[in-house]
């Protein structure tokens, strides 16, 4: 795809005769060149994460984890730049012009790059383009794959008595420093780390051997390092290319050459889990996806958080009016963690004293919602044994008195079974559509790319199923579809999605257990 950006507007001037800098009379926009780290989303810096959470525009690369995009504000514009070896979605020049244009609009722009932007990331080129344009910018360094990926493979790039120096080299022959001098590299006694090198392993190793490097020098290749899809092979300078071909190693990955590779057997700390090598896509809200990822942490899975939905509070005046009548309620009912969160956020915004809740009883649909309630200093008085709205409603009907009023704080378009059950039982209730669930259309193209190699797709709500259906994305035959409960599964099947399994416990932990029980070879 070719993207052409026209720079225009009253603030821009350019002296075409002398090639002077782009000039802007007044510009409040700023660009942050942020290193996303090597692949594991937890390896981003605190400052980098904060930049993402405050961004108005994010221009991201292929190697930047899509999970990090889940931290972006719902209003932020997400622009895919590609920049994958051999496949560029946008040219470097187009990217630079795009950054300038967005900053010119007064936006806070994050350029999210895999690894560190100044280590073979062309961050210097982008920074120079911003300088020339008169755009304010900051560099936010990231953890580079040059040393972190070997570390995840049990290989220290330096080690006392073995290697006192390390050299980072681009795997592209046309690297920034010109043609690589392999004869000079062959003479180094330290560690050689070639980034973006998978497609050229054979030619690199041959050139080093021809330059005088011992063909028995230990070598390792690590594919998709620091992620749940990490693969590592070892050999020698002479054999590593054939081993990679035999094992099906493909980009992205790095080549490590040197005696430090011999330490990998003793230092190989990254153990395989039940789901190692499996890519799991989470589609729920940001909060639910984060909770599921935490639950999956020990399984070895490569988790991609792609929240297809987000919640939006109802009109401020509607909520304010409802809270003024809260004194009438005997019971307050929550059907989701989002409902709990928005309830207490609204109370704080409206400066409503928590003491008005001291005589209230709380009902929650399940343990996740209960934990959210506890986090705000209140404990549920009722939670059904089966975590569904139907069981919550039926159980509550047996507990409320004839004059008790139930205050239901939930999303618009919630299950009608609640209304039917309360109406039939003669329960007095106020069903407040406190928030709406919206489709996050920004995630559609991300979902399309990720689904092509997904092992499992998780639905934690009917709303996520609806969003997936609206985006019209195909589910590959090899992808297992897991639903958090029977109601969600029913909606998935109604949408034409073949459900592989339903969690027996309708929680994030239940979904994890269900994922671990699947046979992904079928």
Among all residues, which ones are annotated catalytic?
61, 83, 196
Q: What secondary structure does DSSP assign to 281-300, as a single string?
A: EE-S-HHHHHHHHHHHGGGT
Q: How many helices (H) and strands (E) does the chain have?
A: 19, 22
* DSSP 8-state secondary structure symbol assigned to residue 507: S
Q: Order of strands, edge to edge, in the sheet holding 166-170?
A: 166-170, 191-195, 253-257, 218-223, 231-236
In Å, how far are 287, 335, 389 from 386, measured between CA atoms?
22, 13, 9
Report the C-alpha gap between 303 and 423 in whole angstroms.
Answer: 42
Q: Which long-range contacts (CB under 8 A, 24 or more apart) does 396-399 make?
A: 396/331, 396/333, 396/363, 396/427, 397/421, 397/422, 397/425, 397/427
- Tell me the longest C-alpha to C-alpha distance in the chain: 91
Q: Are 487 and 388 in contact (CB under 8 A)?
A: yes
Report the C-alpha gap between 364 and 389 in whole angstroms.
Answer: 9
Q: Can you give 229-246 as a three-state secondary structure string? A: CCEEEEEECCCHHHHHHH
- From the list 304, 307, 295, 266, the residue with the least C-alpha distance to 155 is 266
Q: Are 41 and 139 in contact (CB under 8 A)?
A: no
Q: Can you give 132-193 as a three-state secondary structure string? A: HHCCEEEEECCCCHHHHHHHHCCCCCCECCCECCEEEEECCCCCCCCCCCHHHHHCCCCEEE
Establish how many alpha carbons lie within 13 A of residue 403's alpha carbon, considering only the half-sphere containing its beta carbon: 1
Q: Are 355 and 381 in contact (CB under 8 A)?
A: no
Report the C-alpha gap between 296 and 444 in whole angstroms.
Answer: 24
φ, ψ (nearest 5 deg) of residue 235? -175, -145
- From the list 425, 422, 412, 335, the residue with the least C-alpha distance to 373 is 335
Answer whether the bond into residue 252 is a cis peptide, omega within 30°.
yes
Q: Are 381 and 305 in contact (CB under 8 A)?
A: no
Q: Are 267 and 154 in contact (CB under 8 A)?
A: yes
Q: Tell me the two tokens of residue 124.
A: 């210097």
């Amino acid at each position: 795809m070719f993207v052409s950006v026209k720079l225009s507007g009253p603030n821009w001037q350019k002296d075409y005769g002398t090639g002077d800098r782009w000039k802007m009379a007044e510009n409040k926009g700023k660009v942050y060149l942020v290193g996303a780290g090597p692949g594991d989303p937890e390896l981003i810096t605190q400052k980098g994460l904060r930049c993402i959470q405050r961004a108005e525009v994010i221009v991201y690369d292929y190697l930047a984890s899509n999970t990090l995009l889940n931290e972006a504000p719902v209003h932020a514009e997400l622009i895919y730049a590609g920049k994958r070896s051999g496949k560029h979605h946008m040219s470097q020049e187009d990217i630079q012009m795009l950054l300038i244009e967005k900053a010119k609009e007064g936006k806070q722009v994050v350029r999210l790059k895999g690894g560190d932007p100044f280590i073979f990331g062309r961050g210097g080129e982008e920074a120079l383009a911003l300088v020339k344009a008169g755009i304010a910018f900051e560099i936010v360094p990231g953890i580079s794959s040059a040393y972190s990926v070997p570390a995840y493979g049990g290989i220290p790039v330096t080690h006392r008595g073995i290697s006192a120096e390390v050299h980072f080299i681009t795997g592209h022959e046309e690297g920034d420093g010109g043609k690589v001098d392999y004869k000079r590299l062959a003479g180094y006694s330290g560690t050689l780390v070639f980034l973006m090198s998978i497609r050229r392993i054979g030619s690199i190793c041959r050139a080093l051997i021809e330059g005088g490097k011992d063909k028995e020098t230990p070598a390792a290749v690590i594919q998709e390092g620091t992620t749940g899809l990490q693969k590592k092979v070892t050999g020698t300078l002479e054999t590593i290319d054939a081993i990679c071909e035999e094992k099906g190693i493909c980009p992205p990955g790095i080549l490590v050459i040197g005696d430090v590779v011999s330490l990998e057997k003793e230092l190989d700390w990254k153990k395989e889990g039940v789901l190692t090598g499996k890519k799991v896509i989470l589609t729920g809200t940001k909060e639910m996806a984060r909770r599921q990822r935490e639950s999956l942490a020990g399984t070895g899975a490569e988790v991609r958080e792609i929240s297809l939905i987000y919640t939006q509070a109802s009109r401020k005046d509607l909520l304010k009016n409802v809270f003024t009548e809260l004194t009438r309620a005997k019971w307050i009912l929550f059907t989701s963690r989002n409902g709990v969160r928005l309830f207490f956020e609204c109370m704080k915004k409206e400066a409503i004293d928590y003491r008005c809740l001291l005589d209230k009883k709380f009902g929650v649909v399940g343990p996740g919602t209960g934990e959210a309630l506890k986090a705000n200093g209140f404990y549920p008085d009722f939670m059904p044994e089966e975590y569904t709205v139907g069981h919550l409603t039926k159980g509550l009907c047996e507990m409320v008195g004839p004059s008790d009023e139930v205050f239901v704080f939930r999303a618009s378009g919630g299950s009608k079974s609640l209304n039917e059950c309360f109406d039939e039982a003669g329960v007095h209730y106020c069903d407040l559509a406190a928030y709406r669930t919206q489709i996050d259309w920004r995630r559609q193209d991300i979902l399309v790319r990720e689904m092509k190699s997904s092992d499992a797709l998780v639905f934690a709500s009917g709303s996520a199923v609806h969003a997936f259906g609206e985006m019209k994305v195909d589910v590959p035959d090899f992808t297992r579809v897991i639903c958090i409960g029977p109601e969600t599964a029913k909606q998935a099947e109604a949408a034409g999605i073949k459900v592989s399994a339903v969690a027996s416990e309708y929680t994030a932990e239940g979904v994890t257990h269900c994922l671990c029980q699947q046979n992904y070879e079928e």
